[in-house]
Structure 1
Amino acid sequence: MISQLLEVRGIRHVALIDAAGGIVSSAGGGSDISVVQAGRAVVTSLQAALGGGEWQDLLLDLDGGPVLLTPHGDQVLLTAFDEVASLGRVRFAVRRLLH
């Protein structure tokens, strides 16, 4: 299912991570999935500070390239891609896949 995201220009790696931090599914070249747990912690902290609300996605611009974290139920889809300029295309492809 998620491997079809690799057909989108610029996407290098995708991984679906469960609530415990385990890999449910992945495709493409590896990327550090530990950012998922850190990203969840940031989102939880921001939700508490802002009085709740659902999160749509979180963009992390890291040394190895940008990573988009997108919630999917109690799981998170990690999408690593080549450059921030590709963000619109990546978001569109992720939303099309998840909905």
Structure 2
Amino acid sequence: MSAGERRSFTANTIIRDPTWRRRDPAGALHISPRDAQRYGLTDGSPVRVTTERGSARATVETTNMQPGHISLPNGLGVDQPDSGAGVKRVGRQRA
């Protein structure tokens, strides 16, 4: 798994309002079409990614990834102030 992939809208997420992320606001899990088919997944399918450090929920997006590889973007799971003087987590949530 590649964690921290740079994507079009993941730069400077710690200093930008979350609405800046025009594409893929939740940070989809990129997977090859072959692997998605193998696991019965389609674009938009919810998945839980688990590693030795923990797990998180993501949404599937099939891409030109090499079979056997998956990727999640950097810059998600960031706490942003919300309008009610609280904090809102932007991006993936722990599963």
TM bracket (short chain): under 0.3
Structure with more contact order per residue of length (Cα contacts < 8 Å, sep ≥ 6): 2
Question: Of Structure 1 and Structure 2, which has the larger fraction of its residues in helix?
Answer: 1
Work out which of the two has the higher radius of gyration on C-alpha atoms and give 1 or 2.
2
TM-score, normalised to structure 1, is 0.26
